[in-house]
Amino acid sequence: MKDLLIGQGVEPKRREELMAFINARPEVDVVLNLLTLQMGPDVMVAVKARMSPAPDQTTLIEAINSVERAMKAQFPDIRWSFFEPDIAD
Amino acid sequence: MSGQANSLRAILLALGANFAIFISKLVAALITGSGAMLAEAVHSLADCGNQGLLLLGMRQADRPPSEEYPLGWGRALYFWSFLVAMLLFSVGGMFSIYEGIHKLNHPEPLKWPWLAIGVLAFGVVAESISMHGCLQEVNKAREGRSLWRWFRETRSSELLVIFGEDLAALLGLTIALLAVLATMITGDLLYDAAR
């Protein structure tokens, strides 16, 4: 209970599943950092990832949006997602 | 998260069980004048209030996000679960201890022991039904993990509290049942107070 009040991430198994899911997406090269926070019945995630090469900014943004959409479809309790493209953690 | 557990069902079952037990204990306490029975009645009433607080927490957690609460109210559940856990300990535990000490200093003979046993047996049945329902939800959330690992890993604070409460109630009722039997057999009121 104390852990949840302080601010605990999702169950370890769920985090692994989420990590594997994002890493398996073709738009993503590799996940650099994944942060989750359990908010009662809902979940917040913050992802920092190196993306697969994109020809321009619009393609990159669309890639991020499609990953976020797929993520929320697969894990319906993810209510908030903050996705940051980066080259190193 | 954690499977498709229905915490609401577990809470409502516990509420129903506790209220039924409260009524039976109150009636019995008025007839027998047993201190332990009165403590148990108050304990059951407190448990009903606790389930009410958990329901309140679940409703509050559903409030939509706003500018002031951008990530919503989901974590309100943890606050109410924590409060209920504290209440279970303080009201249930402390009052029982107080009653027990009072009984040690001012022993009263145990009247109608069979009624006490009947109420306790009824309590065991009601709590067993509640526990059964709770375990069904826990099993959905466990996803093959051991009960202990679920207990350590779950983020479902309200289900955790209900599980703990059902478990404590069942253990308490069993001990109480044994204590009444011990008093009946030995005629020593020490057991009634200890109960």
ipTM value: 0.82
d(CA B45, CA B34): 17
Sequence letter at residue A16? E
Q: CA nearest B36: which of B94, B100, B93, B108?
A: B100
| Interchain CB distance below 8 Å, B155 and A38 | yes
Residue B1 — pLDDT band, cuts 50, 70, 90? very low
Residue contact B72–A39, C-beta within 8 A: yes
Q: With 80 as the cut, is the pLDDT of residue A34 above it? A: yes
Amino acid type, B40: E
Interface of B with A (CB under 8 A): 1-2, 61, 71-79, 81-82, 85, 143, 153-155, 157, 160-161
**Residues of A in Cβ contact (< 8 Å) with B2:** 11, 14
pLDDT at B3 over 60: no
> What's the mean pLDDT in B142-154?
88
What is the sign, positive or negative, of the torsion defined by CA atoms of B119, B122, B126, B132? positive
Angle in degrees, CA B10, B11, B14, rounded to 5: 85
* Helices and strands in chain A: count of H runs, count of E runs: 3, 3
**Regarding the domain delimited by B7-194, which CATH topology (the fold level of the hierarchy) does it fall under?**
Alpha-lytic protease prodomain-like (1.20.1510)
% pLDDT > 70, chain B = 89
Q: Which CATH superfamily is domain A2-85 in?
A: Cation efflux protein, cytoplasmic domain (3.30.70.1350)
Model pLDDT, residue A43: 95
Over residues B117-124, mean pLDDT: 87
- Counting one residue from A and one from B, how many pairs have CB atoms under 8 Å apart? 55
Query: Both ends of chain B: CA-CA distance in Å?
Result: 40
Q: Find the closest chain A residue to B145 by CA distance.
A: A13
Of A2, A11, A44, the CB nearest to B155: A11
Instruction: Please name the helix (run of DSSP H) or strand (run of DSSP E) that holds residue B69, with its range, or none.
Output: none
Written as one letter, the residue type at A59 is: T
A81 CB neighbours in chain B (<8 A) are none
Q: CB–CB of B61 and A41 under 8 A?
A: yes
Domain ranges, ordered by start, for chain A:
2-85
How many residues are listed for chain B in this entry? 195
Residue B126 has pLDDT above 70, yes or no: yes
Residue B52: which pLDDT band, with cuts at 50, 70 and 90? very high
Res B195 pLDDT > 60: no
Contact check, Cβ <8 Å, B75/A39: yes
Three-class SS state of A37: strand
Neighbours of B180 (CB within 10 A): 23
Q: What is the pLDDT of residues B108-117, one digit of tens each?
A: 666 677 787 8
3-class SS of residue B3:
coil
Residues A44, A46: Cα–Cα separation, whole Å: 7
- Tell me whether residues B85 and A8 touch, CB distance under 8 A: no
Name the band, by pLDDT with cuts 50, 70 and 90, for residue B28: confident
| SS3 of residue B118 by DSSP | helix
Give chain A positions within 8 Å (CB) of B164: none
